[in-house]
Amino acid sequence: MLQIYNSLTRKKEPFTPIDPKNVRMYVCGMTVYDYCHIGHARVLVVFDVVNRYLREKFGQNSVTYIRNITDIDDKIIQRATENNESIESLTERFINEMNVDADKLGITRPDQEPKATLHMQDIIDMISILIDKGYAYQASNGDVYFEVKKFEGYGKLSGRNLDEDQAGARVEVEIAKKDAADFVLWKMAKDGEPAWDSPWGPGRPGWHIECSAMATKCLGNHFDIHGGGMDLKFPHHENEIAQSEASTGECFANVWMHNGHVMVDEEKMSKSLGNFFTVREVLKQYQPEVVRYFILTSHYRSPLNYTKNNLDNAKSALDRFYTALRDLHDTSAEHDYNYKESFNAALDDDFNTAEALAVLFEITRELNSLKANNNLEKAAHLGEVLRELGGMLGLLQDDAEQFLKGSGSGSDGLNDDAINQLIENRITAKKEKNWGEADRIREELSAQGIVLEDGAGGTSWRRG
RNA sequence: GGCUGGGUGGCAGAGUGGUGAUGCAGCGGCCUGCAAAGCCGUCAACAGCGGUUCGAUUCCGCUCCUAGCCUCCA
């Protein structure tokens, strides 16, 4: 039985889909004005695993996964102006770049990736309903606001009490608002800003409303899971709940999932702090699965420290798996599924990927034992199991030999031919029992990051 | 100030009211020309102080430290 920690109730709950034939999940995606950083990679990977596992549990075609794209907001306008580039060109460019990164990381594409600019009518419709129902008002400056006090359940997600919040503690309060907590639904366009027609005048949607409109449009008023980064819990998700439930009169999402942040030097990695590493930057040094593994080593709700040491550890761990998977022959026989049970039990427990990985290591140990005892048939079977379970996490899908011989995307230093030549020379030296020369060659390669392994079947190598 | 979370062995990181996480690193052994890889064995931890309990790292309280949110943010 799958259990998921629900941010709304602050406890783990058994997950029961509204419709097991169509489990519906919405995740807040990217605002597209820059490259994705490792924090974004974490959301992508975490919910990719959730998506994969839900399909494993409920059926490959019984899940609808929506991840939106915010392609209009203040930051985008600002960046486009700075670049002297049109908003369309900017956002299209970074949507493409996002997909490049996501594909490299082995992220399964969501079923739909709705964009705010293509859902203006849905957004306007929802705002109209909110005004009609008395939850929203147009202020003297023309902006339309959601009146927070009218929505009874406000604060239920983030656990905050409006009276205790220090409104305006860190940001100036817009004076046109009735209450400091009210938030904008429709923002009037200033000169030169992009604008869409609306009953309240030309303008653009506030940030929160697009997700409410697109989620209900794509998944219905009431769906199963809503996810996103921890930083979106308040105000973004709190506001989404208010808007959606006020307008539809129905429960919005049953389960709220929030992933923890990626940290750098004890601080959250974020664009505004400027302490971020882009996905492509990291992928120059580490293979995609290394990044994925790194993300999955800690529980999705915990903070994750971005350090060289942790990435290197991830690489070592994958080397261990792929070393075990190397030189296994193909097999089509029935698999041994003893491990699958404990692997699934780990993921059933609020997607405990760290524990699931521990199961993969158990398999690896047994697999290595079998290889050592020359029980190659059974070893091959276990190899299949290892790959299959790893695949649920999007891991162990590379060719073992290629993974071990590859470094980041650009492997500088010696090319394969040069390495093989040196290995040949060393084999000759070894035949002559010229150990000094053999060791010298091994040292030379080692200095280039190449590790040699003399086995029964000859010498193999990998990039360490 | 308010609201969420954390503090586990050298490092990373799960978990549990009373035996084992796991990976890397270390130590001993097997294997090897020597290594590497692998296998076997081994060391080692639960921030502090109280309380509940036959028993607490695990439950409760307090203290200290720390992260996130209360502004755009994944």
For the cut 80, the answer to whether the pLDDT of residue A169 exceeds it is no
Does residue A1 form part of some domain? no
Tell me: do A93 and A164 sit in the same domain. yes
Q: Cβ neighbours of residue A386 under 8 Å, at least 6 residues apart?
A: A321, A324, A325, A360, A363, A364, A367, A396
> How far is Cα A49 from Cα A393, in angstroms, rounded to an integer?
6
Q: Where are the alpha helices (DSSP H) in A224-372?
A: 238-248, 279-283, 288-296, 308-325, 338-348, 353-372
Nucleic chain B contacts, protein chain A, residues 85-144, CB cut-off 7 A: none
- CB of residue A179 closer than 7 A to nucleic acid strand B? no
Does residue A78 form part of some domain? yes
Q: How many Cβ atoms are within 10 Å of A246's Cβ, its own excluded?
A: 24
Distance in angstroms, CA of A448 to C1' of B61?
57
CATH number at residue A320: 1.20.120.640
> Contact at 8 Å (CB) between A324 and A367?
yes
> How far is Cα A192 from Cα A213, in angstroms, rounded to an integer?
26
A234 or A464: which leads in pLDDT: A234
Does residue A9 form part of some domain? no
Q: What percent of chain A has pLDDT over 70?
A: 95
Tell me: do A448 and A320 sit in the same domain. no
Does residue A292 form part of some domain? no
Does residue A294 form part of some domain? no
For the cut 60, the answer to whether the pLDDT of residue A168 exceeds it is no
Compute chain A's Rg from CA coordinates: 26
The closest nt to A298, taking CA to C1', is B13
Nucleic chain B contacts, protein chain A, residues 184-213, CB cut-off 7 A: 207
Tell me: do A247 and A119 sit in the same domain. yes
Number of domains in chain A: 3
Does residue A288 form part of some domain? no
CATH number at residue A229: 3.40.50.620
Tell me: do A46 and A21 sit in the same domain. yes
Structure confidence at residue A234 (pLDDT): 94
> How far is Cα A180 from Cα A204, in angstroms, rounded to an integer?
21
Residue range of the domain that includes A111 = 17-264
Tell me: do A434 and A320 sit in the same domain. no
Tell me: do A21 and A167 sit in the same domain. yes
User: DSSP characters for A317-358?
Assistant: HHHHHHHHHTTPPP--SPP--HHHHHHHHHHHBT--HHHHHH
> How far is Cα A264 from Cα A226, in angstroms, rounded to an integer?
27
Does residue A68 form part of some domain? yes
User: Which of A206, A241, A264 is where one domain is finished?
Assistant: A264
Q: What percent of chain A has pLDDT over 90?
A: 85
Q: Cβ neighbours of residue A214 under 8 Å, at least 6 residues apart?
A: A26, A66, A68, A114, A116, A119, A122
User: Which of A377, A404, A431 is where one domain is finished?
Assistant: A404
Q: What is the mean pLDDT of residues A357-375?
A: 95
User: Which of A239, A264, A289 is where one domain is finished?
Assistant: A264
Nucleic chain B contacts, protein chain A, residues 384-423, CB cut-off 7 A: none
CA A96 to chain centre: 17
> How far is Cα A145 from Cα A421, in angstroms, rounded to an integer?
71
Distance in angstroms, CA of A170 to C1' of B2?
14
> Contact at 8 Å (CB) between A27 and A69?
no
**Residue type for A296, please?**
L
pLDDT digits (tens, 9 = 90+) for A318-336: 999 999 999 898 887 666 6
- CB of residue A30 closer than 7 A to nucleic acid strand B? yes
A10 or A103: which leads in pLDDT: A103
Confidence class of residue A52 from pLDDT cuts 50, 70 and 90? very high
Distance in angstroms, CA of A347 to C1' of B46?
24
Tell me: do A49 and A152 sit in the same domain. yes
Q: How many Cβ atoms are within 10 Å of A402's Cβ, its own excluded?
A: 10
> Contact at 8 Å (CB) between A257 and A299?
no
Tell me: do A40 and A147 sit in the same domain. yes
For the cut 80, the answer to whether the pLDDT of residue A419 exceeds it is yes
Confidence class of residue A286 from pLDDT cuts 50, 70 and 90? very high
Q: What is the mean pLDDT of residues A196-209?
A: 96
SS3 A257: strand
Tell me: do A256 and A121 sit in the same domain. yes
- CB of residue A309 closer than 7 A to nucleic acid strand B? yes
Q: Which two tokens stand for residue A81?
A: 């102006």
Tell me: do A164 and A244 sit in the same domain. yes
Structure confidence at residue A199 (pLDDT): 97
For the cut 70, the answer to whether the pLDDT of residue A166 exceeds it is no
Tell me: do A108 and A146 sit in the same domain. yes
- CB of residue A438 closer than 7 A to nucleic acid strand B? yes
- How would you classify the pairing of strands A3-6 and A183-188? unpaired
What spatial distance separates the first Cα and last Cα of chain A, rounded to whole Å? 40
Does residue A239 form part of some domain? yes
Distance in angstroms, CA of A269 to C1' of B8?
25
- CB of residue A463 closer than 7 A to nucleic acid strand B? no
Protein-covered nucleotides of chain B (CB closer than 7 Å) are: 1-6, 11-15, 20-25, 32-40, 66-74
For the cut 90, the answer to whether the pLDDT of residue A172 exceeds it is no
Mean pLDDT rounded to a whole number for chain A? 93
pLDDT digits (tens, 9 = 90+) for A128-151: 999 999 999 999 999 999 999 999
Q: What is the mean pLDDT of residues A55-79?
A: 97
For the cut 60, the answer to whether the pLDDT of residue A53 exceeds it is yes
Distance in angstroms, CA of A93 to C1' of B73?
20
Q: What is the mean pLDDT of residues A29-33?
A: 96
pLDDT digits (tens, 9 = 90+) for A236-277: 999 999 999 999 999 999 999 999 999 998 899 998 888 999
Closest of A210, A221, A206 to residue A119, by C-alpha: A210
Tell me: do A62 and A183 sit in the same domain. yes
